[in-house]
A and B are shown apart, each in its own frame.
Chain A
Amino acid sequence: MSSTTTNARSGPRAETGPHPLRAYYGIIAQLLAVIALIAFFAIQNPLFFTLMNFQNIGMQSSVLLLVALAGTLVIMIGSIDLSVGATVVLATLVTAIAVDAYGSLGGIGLAVATGAAVGLVNGGLMVYLKVPSFLATLGMMSVLAGIAGHLSGGIAIIYQNWAYTDLVNGSVILGLPNVATVALVTAAVLAFVSLRTKFGRYLYAIGGGEVVASNSGVPINRFKIWAFVVCGALCGLAGAMLAGQVGAGTPAAGSSILLNSIAAIVMGGTALSGGVGGPHRTILGVLLIAILSNGMDVTGVGGFTQDIVKGLVIIFAVALTTDRKKYQFIK
């Protein structure tokens, strides 16, 4: 198309690409970590390396997977949702109340709607009132915990709809508990959405370079709100599943869900600065955290020590995934 010949002075040639495996270093490191953890716990306690225990891990990590996937969408855009745990807790209570009144599907539907509403408020606070997501969702966490307290009076709400527990814990496909199927299907859908749809592209673009995204015509505010709404809805779904597993709505457990999900997201390789990683990466992160938690349970590590270990894991995972070039100052 051009009439001149290529100019030989055109600056330094682009570097030849990095090592072909370079892009997979993160995933390789995670797989090695998974193998190392399995080997370690298997040596510590033979009961760890059994089919039953692995089924256990699957059961225990389904809810975590849903919440971590939810959080990933928000962290991808460079924001954070600290209210995920509180949203799940509220959703378990909504489910427990609703399954008796409106049946199983009504329970799930109301829980999801509750979560989506929370997400809408979070997103709106950030986009329209310009409250940083960190603070908006921190405040929301407290508000939701308070609402949960009012709903439950601080004790578990036990429901009578046993069909619901059967639905959640029963199996339709391949002997997998339905809760695990739901989590895995959600993971597959979100991985597809983030990698192959406009919605996913835009979330990455907003997190990776908001100005670039805006210059390229991405309706930033709308997609930010959507990220929060989907996040909230998935937390609602997670709450419905948790209520099904436990047989009740539980007012506790919010903080450990928050900590574990953020640990899993960061371990998976979605940087808190946004723009990289994604739901497909979070699956591995959840696996790591689930094996770590279960392994510590099986080998008799106390709850307090587990908290310390997981806290350290988050800190080191963040230190490893931070793109230092992107930040001149960390506040």
Chain B
Amino acid sequence: MSLTAKPALELDGISKAYNGIPAIQSVSFTLKKNQVLGLVGENGAGKSTILGVINGVVSPDSGHLRIHGAEAAFGHPDEAARHGVATVFQEQGLIPQLLVYENMFLGREAKYSVGGILRRQSMIAEAQAVLDDLNIDNVDPRAVTGDLSFGQRQLVEIAKAFALARVYPVEPIILLDEPTSALSEKEAAKLFDGIQHWRSKASIIIVSHSMADIFRCCDEIVALKDGNVVAQLAAGETSPDGLHELIVGRKREEEYYKEFRQRDPGDRVILSARGLRKEGAVAEISFDLREGEILGFAGVLGAGKSVVASMVAGLTPRDGGEVQVGGRAIASGSSYQAISEGIGYVPAERNLAGIIGAHSLEWNLTLPGLSRVMDRSGLSISSRKSAELANFWLKRLRVRAPGRGALARSLSGGNQQKVVFAKWLARGVRVLVLDEPGRGLDVGAKEEIYDLIRDIAAEGTAVLLISDNLPELIGLSNRILVMRKGQVTAEFKADVGAKPEESAIVKHMI
């Protein structure tokens, strides 16, 4: 390992904004040759944007990127690949129908063909050589990729990066995006052993939510917060707690989360869940949700909190347990029944699951509660009632839009989110399930949504809140359940003035 060699990657003052909202601001850091570097930060801190810049998918607004000392052109994934950059994504980049060796050399077949005809045997031999070289002994290059386990496919992706190095004589730079999120403990251990073995032939960046992962294999750590690099330090210089302090680091502002508006919940139980179970995601969890209560669920990605929300809203069928609203049982996987019993759901993926962009605000807003805007015959929609309802809620939620007829897609994210809330408020709900209500919103829009959540709770609606953003979760909730690997590991009361510390919650998450 030579320290005098050119760094594998240098990022110099890279900035990128989406719709005027900065995702990363003047990000600079260096990945030394044969180094394993951890990239940490909350959701929305800019990790994905940085990976995108490095592998050529995202064109930044300004800054420089040097790969192996050479200035890289932005926005050309192909060129990044030729310089040895390979990304192993969470959602995997292999074609399941192809054989392993076909995937490994996908797009680089020219080297293994004579007159346009592929030399299968030499590709298989080469693939086997790469796998051997990496000590990967549990993958057959002739296997169908889709038949392999998640962990095996991940190894294939890594091998693909090294295979690339044989085609282009460059040392690979491997970007691992949340590599352990879907691995078993055993598979993860194998991956980390591998990383220690492979690092003599590659430089590696690991993005992970798991502090344990980061400290298990990284030499250096780059901490991100709100699109800025807040520190680049050696792993030995910090601890998981210290690092967490750095990336959350923002003082929880009571004002921001409207804590002065927090009220104690009523006594009446609105929703009760008993023994909720989903194979491979959630193991037997139970809770009650009271009138006006905001119950928060904390946990890292994959801990099962979103699945709980989705089961409560009837969107995911459950494998066991029951949900009751006001004493009436909700059938498993029936969003129709969940909604008719008054459970509303604000999804994390607003554009995919919350609004239909090609239709008007009025149209979107009235969709779950069309029965309320029917005319006297009960047959047709009353345009007067529909307009009144839309105007009322758009005004009450202060949606900034040209009018109720504006197309939903023409609105900013914050205003779209208000429309999703308005859908449920206009229909009338007893329980509102919020999955990442602040995701993708800027500071001001978030504040308005928090205010809205307080309004909703104040009216007695029970709120189930899922969030990766701990300050948000702590600030808003009356009570917090912490989940890890599908189980509730702790419960915190979060009364005003006695809110739990983030570090206390994090301990039960990892």
Contact = CB atoms under 8 A, between A and B. Distances in A.
Q: Tell me, yes or no, whether A binds B.
A: yes
B270 to A, nearest CB: 18
Contact of A12 (B20, B315, B366, B405): B20
A3 interface: yes
Contact of A17 (B258, B403, B442): B403
Contact of A9 (B339, B363, B410, B444): B444
Contacts of A196: 380-381, 383
A11 B414 contact: yes
A23 to B, nearest CB: 9
B402 A211 contact: no
B406 interface: yes
A214 B347 CA distance: 12
B412 A13 contact: yes
Contact of A208 (B336, B338, B356, B411): B356
A26 to B, nearest CB: 13
Interface in A13-44: 13-18
Interface stretch (B235-243, B445-453, B482-490): B445-453
B356 A14 contact: no
Contacts of A11: 20-21, 412-415, 441-442, 444-445
Contacts of A14: 400-402, 406, 410-412, 415
A1 B444 contact: no
A1 B425 CA distance: 13
Given A196-B380, A197-B381, A323-B358, A214 B442 contact: no
Nearest to A326: B358
Interface string A201-227: 100110011011111111100000000
A286 B447 CA distance: 51
B44 interface: no
B423 interface: yes
Nearest to A196: B380
Contacts, number: 125
B234 interface: no
Given A3-B261, A13-B400, A17-B406, A8 B380 contact: no
A197 B386 CA distance: 12
A4 interface: yes
A219 B336 CA distance: 6
A10 B335 contact: no
Contact of B358 (A3, A197, A276): A276
A215 B380 contact: no
Contacts of B443: 9
Give chain A's interface secondary structure class: loop
Contacts of A1: 396, 455
Contacts of B383: 196
A50 interface: no
Contacts of B455: 1-2
Given A3-B261, A10-B400, A208 B410 contact: no
A9 B412 CA distance: 12
Interface residues of A, number: 38
Contact of B410 (A7, A17, A217): A17
Contacts of B339: 216-217
Contacts of B354: 212, 215
Given A14-B401, A17-B402, A2 B452 contact: yes
B398 interface: yes
B19 A8 contact: no
A197 B412 contact: no
Given A9-B444, A12-B20, A197-B379, A217 B356 contact: no
B77 to A, nearest CB: 15
A192 interface: yes
B261 A204 contact: no
Contacts of B335: 214-215, 217
Interface in B329-346: 335-336, 338-340, 345
B370 A10 contact: no
A201 B370 contact: yes
B353 A217 contact: no
Contacts of B374: 198
B318 to A, nearest CB: 17
Nearest to A2: B451
A8 B261 contact: no
Nearest to B261: A3
A160 B286 CA distance: 72
B440 to A, nearest CB: 10
B368 A12 contact: no
A221 to B, nearest CB: 10
A24 to B, nearest CB: 13
Contacts of B336: 217-219
B238 to A, nearest CB: 33
Contacts of B384: none
A209 B347 CA distance: 13
Given A11-B413, A198-B370, A215-B353, A16 B402 contact: yes
A13 B352 CA distance: 22
Contacts of A9: 442-444
Contacts of B357: 209
B484 to A, nearest CB: 27
B274 interface: no
A328 interface: no
Contacts of B400: 10, 13-14
A216 B356 CA distance: 11
Given A1-B396, A12-B20, A208-B359, A201 B367 contact: yes
A6 interface: yes
Among B367, B383, B396, B414, the most chain A Cβ lie within 10 Å of the Cβ of B367
Among A12, A192, A211, A213, the most chain B Cβ lie within 10 Å of the Cβ of A12
A32 to B, nearest CB: 24
A204 B20 contact: no
Among A14, A18, A218, the most chain B Cβ lie within 10 Å of the Cβ of A14
Given A7-B447, A9-B444, A215 B356 contact: no
Contact of B380 (A15, A197, A276): A197
Contacts of A219: 336
Interface in A269-298: 275-276
B368 A201 contact: no
A242 B190 CA distance: 70
A198 B442 contact: no
Interface string B369-412: 01100100001110100000000000010101111011000111
Nearest to A208: B356
Contacts of A201: 363, 366-367, 370, 381
A275 B455 CA distance: 34
Contacts of B261: 3
A219 B345 CA distance: 16
B355 interface: yes
Given A13-B400, A197-B381, A212 B442 contact: no
Given A10-B442, A215-B315, A15 B410 contact: yes
A219 B414 CA distance: 28
Given A14-B411, A211-B353, A213-B367, 14 more contacts: A4-B451, A9-B442, A10-B414, A10-B442, A10-B444, A10-B448, A11-B412, A12-B412, A16-B402, A197-B380, A197-B381, A201-B363, A217-B335, A217-B340
9 contacts: A7-B447, A11-B444, A14-B402, A17-B410, A192-B380, A197-B380, A208-B359, A212-B356, A275-B359
